[in-house]
Amino acid sequence: MLKSKYAVKQISVFLENRRGRLAEVAQALLEAEINIRALFLADSSEFGILRMVVNNPEKAKAVLVSKGFAANETNVFAVEVEDKPGGFYKVVKVLADEGIDVEYTYAYAGSSERAILFFKVKEEEFDKAVGALLNKGIKLVESLEMYK
Amino acid sequence: MDLKKKDYIPKEELRRIQIERLKETVQRAYHLVPFYRKKFDEAGVKPEDIKTLEDIQKLPFTTKQDLRDNYPFGLFAVPLEQVVRIHSSSGTTGKPTVVGYTESDLKVWTEVIARTLKMADVGPKDIVHNAYGYGLFTGGLGFHYGAEAVGAAVVPASGGFTKRQLMLMKDFGATVLCSTPSFALHLFEVAKEEGYDVERDFKLRAGFFGAEPASEGLKRTVSESWGVQYVEVYGLSEIIGPGVAASCQYGSLHIFEDHFIPEVIDPETGEVLPEGEEGELVLTTITKQALPMIRYRTKDITVLHREPCKCGRTIVWMESVKGRADDMLIVNGVNVFPSQVEHVITKVEGITPNYVIVVDKKGVLDKLEVWVEVDERFLTDGVGTLERLKKKLEEELLNNLYINAKVKLVEPKTLERSMGKAKRIIDRRELNL
């Protein structure tokens, strides 16, 4: 199954807009020696949802829940593209052509010339999206790579 | 004798017992308590005027303020030598109210709690985990002696120490839980956090929940979470403590009316309302010795039913208390009971039944906020989903209660969990005047 190979467990944390709350999440993860690979904060005027890809999602979730945060896991997939103009376009074009809605996406440009894009699509369209990208020769990052 | 039989006593016999006991109580109150004598005289009523049950309406009401005015022992109808127990309210809203019991009063109390426990056939094979607070609060000791009387093994856990309580419940194999509904829910949440497999690790089959109003939704949540028969317990220390009424398997809250005579009145006019109409519950004790209460205004809003209950009990039953006349909020002219808000909240998926209502003034208008906790089990990672959840809740509140409330989603476990009664309202309006 494509999902078992490519589904990266992203941790989502519900946060009220209160001073110091982000620092508390970060501290909890530090104390548990969890490395954040990528993160993205979506917010409304009153609360936010912090989305993170970490090296050990199960542990991260357990630690956060034990500290009183509302945290859960969501499947996203990671695509590796060249860190240059058009890299992002290539990927979203495929998804658009396939009629797959992207719920959200974020990226991180690592130290190399490659960038990693994270995509969240509807759970039932996960395999379709990943399959289409693979067919077009786009490189997906296996979830195990992310947990290293 | 079989305690349960008392709940099935033929109506005529019950009336005869009630009138006899009422007459005696009125005589005692008039002759032994100067406060009652003065009140009766002012109202122009003599004990001899009470000949039928309907004559109770001639008697003046008693209020919590009367208890405070006569603090601590002014309303006692017996000398202190005959008092064997004293309980007191916390007094958070003024002077505490003090209640006393003779040996005979404690027997009555034990009996009504035993009858309460019989609503789920609690007996010698049961282990009763009693998480009501032991101390001045009537919950702990009230249940304690009632449970002993039916032969159950009582674990006097009292409040607090949630994790240890769970350990004891599991290790001792508790079959019955006695606690406030909010503490029962708190226990369940902590059990999950601690990694218990609730179904496998616990043997609870019934719970006796009271001391605070609970909506149908909260009751269902508690009952389903723990997988127990939910027995609602109603009572107040001024009357006896828990054990004034308890719900049968059909949810009817039966009042042990061979000890307490209920009436429902219009809280504004004091007029007695016909059966089936909603109003303030008024109770008269007819067996209490130390502290007879004549037409005590409970401030609890409910409805009385005399039609037979499916369970076959002949004694009158009341509906769950809709709210306390005291707790009723008036928000921009609309009456709001916290339990109504709670009911709406428990219907919407994705949030826990924990909430706080915050009322404030914005200019001349009242501003109502309802803070609810997001449940991680339902947390999706979309801001939009949560925004919709919030909006849905606001719409439900508007449709059901006709109030414009702003809903604020807060993180789990941020709202205060009380070990005793949950504090659901923060009214900031007075502070701003």
Chain B within 8 Å of A45 (Cβ-Cβ)?
no
How far apart CA B428 and CA B433 sit, in angstroms, is 9
Contact B386 A10 (CB under 8 A): no
Integer-rounded Cα radius of gyration of chain A: 16
**Closest Cα to residue B116, out of B389, B313, B271, B309?**
B313
Amino acid of residue B163: K
Q: Do residue B249 and residue B384 come from a single domain?
A: no
Q: What is the mean pLDDT of chain A?
A: 90
**How far apart, in whole angstroms, are the C-alpha atoms of residue B94 and residue B326?**
14
| Domain termination residue (choose one: B265, B289, B322) | B322
Collapsing DSSP states into helix, strand and coil, what is residue B420? coil
**Is the minimum CB–CB distance between A60 and chain B shorter than 8 Å?**
no
Nearest to B383 among A42, A72, A120 (CB): A42
Residues B257 and B343 grouped into a single domain: no
Q: List chain B residues with pLDDT less than 50.
A: 432-433
Query: How far does A15 lie from chain B, in Å, by closest CA?
Result: 7
> A44 and B386: CB-CB below 8 Å?
yes
- Asked if A10's CB is within 8 angstroms of B375's CB, the reply is no
Distance of CA B146 to the CA centre of its chain: 17
Contact yes or no for B383 and A48 at CB 8 A: yes
| Domains of chain A with bracketed CATH | 6-74 (3.30.2130.10), 76-146 (3.30.70.260)
| Cα-based angle B237, B162, B97 (whole degrees, multiple of 5) | 15
Distance from the Cα of residue B18 to its chain's centroid: 24
Q: Are residues B300 and B369 in the same domain?
A: no
| Residue partners of A92: CB distance under 8 A and separation at least 6 | A102, A105
Domain ends where: B299, B322, B345?
B322
If asked whether residues B121 and B161 sit together in one domain, one would say yes
Contact B149, B186 (CB under 8 A): no
Nearest CA to CA, how far is B63 from chain A (Å)?
43
CA distance A113 to chain B (A): 30
A44 touches chain B (CB under 8 A): yes
Using a CB-CB cut-off of 8 Å, the residues of chain B touching A44 are 383, 386-387
CA separation for the pair B355, B344 (Å, rounded): 11
Mark which residues 7-26 of A lie under 8 Å from B by CB: 10, 12, 14-16
Q: Which domain holds residue B369?
A: 329-432
Terminus-to-terminus CA distance in chain B, angstroms?
Answer: 59
> What amino acid is encoded at B180 in this protein?
T
Kindly state whether residues B311 and B353 are assigned to the same domain. Answer: no
| Interface check B386 vs A, CB under 8 A | yes
Residue B111's domain is classified under what CATH number?
3.40.50.12780
CA-to-CA separations, B163 to A124, B130, B168, B210, B346, in angstroms, rounded: 40, 15, 9, 21, 25
Structural contact between residues B426 and B358, judged by C-beta atoms closer than 8 angstroms: yes
DSSP string, B173-241: T--EEEE-HHHHHHHHHHHHHTT--HHHH----EEEEESS---HHHHHHHHHHHT-EEEEEEEETTTTE
CB atoms within 10 A of CB B430: 8
Whether B118 contacts B229, CB under 8 Å: no
B411 interfaces chain A, CB cutoff of 8 Å: yes
Q: Do A103 and B412 touch (CB under 8 A)?
A: no
| Distance between CA atoms of residues B388 and B380, nearest Å | 12
DSSP state of B6: G
A120 touches chain B (CB under 8 A): yes
Which residues of B fall within a CB distance of 8 Å from A14?
Answer: 374, 376, 379, 386, 409, 411
CATH number, domain of B342, equals: 3.30.300.30
Judge if ipTM > 0.90: no
Specify the pLDDT at position B92.
52
Nearest Cα to B179, choosing from B164, B205, B159? B159
Is B411 in Cβ contact with A10 (below 8 Å)?
A: no
Quick one: DSSP state of residue B1? -
B276 touches B13 (CB < 8 A):
no
Check CB contact under 8 Å for B383 and A49.
yes
Q: Are residues B350 and B237 in the same domain?
A: no
Residues B75 and B117 in one domain: yes
Helix/strand/coil (H/E/C) assignment for every residue in B128-179:
EEECCCCCCCHHHHHHHHHHHHCCCEEECCCCCCHHHHHHHHHHHCCCEEEE
Note if the bond before B10 is cis, omega within 30 degrees.
no
Task: Provide the token pair at A37.
Answer: 């690979």
Residues B380 and B308 in one domain: no
User: In chain A, which residue's Cα lies nearest the Cα of B350?
Assistant: A70
Q: How many whole angstroms separate alpha carbon B50 and alpha carbon A135?
A: 93
The CA distance from A21 to the nearest CA of chain B, in Å, is 11
Helical H segments across B326-382, by residue range: 338-347
Q: Does A48 touch chain B (CB under 8 A)?
A: yes
- Nearest-angstrom CA–CA distance, B54 and B41: 19
- What is the nearest CA distance from B384 to chain A, expressed in angstroms? 9
Nearest CB partner across the interface for B411, out of A66, A68, A74: A68
Identify whether residues B33 and B167 lie together within a single domain: yes
- Which of A42, A70, A103 is nearest residue B411 as measured by Cβ atoms? A70
Contact B387 A44 (CB under 8 A): yes
Identify which of A60, A50, A57 has the alpha carbon closest to the alpha carbon of residue A30: A60
My answer on whether B208 and B108 are in the same domain is yes
Indicate the number of domains in chain B: 2
Q: Are both B304 and B380 inside the same structural domain?
A: no
Residue B351 has, within 13 A of its CA and on its CB side, a CA count of: 32
Q: Give the closest-approach CA distance of A103 to chain B in angstroms.
A: 8
* Residue that is last in its domain, among B276, B297, B322: B322
Predicted local confidence at residue B41, as pLDDT:
96
| Long-range contact pairs involving B295-299 (C-beta distance under 8 Å, separation at least 24) | B295/B56, B295/B59, B295/B60, B295/B61, B295/B62, B295/B263, B296/B61, B296/B62, B296/B63, B296/B238, B296/B239, B297/B61, B297/B62, B297/B63, B297/B64, B297/B265, B298/B236, B298/B238, B298/B239, B299/B64, B299/B267, B299/B324, B299/B325, B299/B326
What is the distance in angstroms between the Cα of A82 and the nearest Cα belonging to chain B?
Answer: 28
Same domain as B423, residue B279: no
Taking 70 as the pLDDT cut, the residues of chain A under it are: 111
Which residues in B lie closer than 8 A to residue A72 (C-beta atoms)?
Answer: 376-377, 379-381
Predicted local confidence at residue B432, as pLDDT: 41
Cβ atoms of B250 and B231 closer than 8 Å? no
- Residue A102: which of A75, A120, A78 has the closest Cα? A120
Q: Which of B122, B186, B190 is nearest to B154 (CA)?
A: B122
DSSP code of residue B325: T
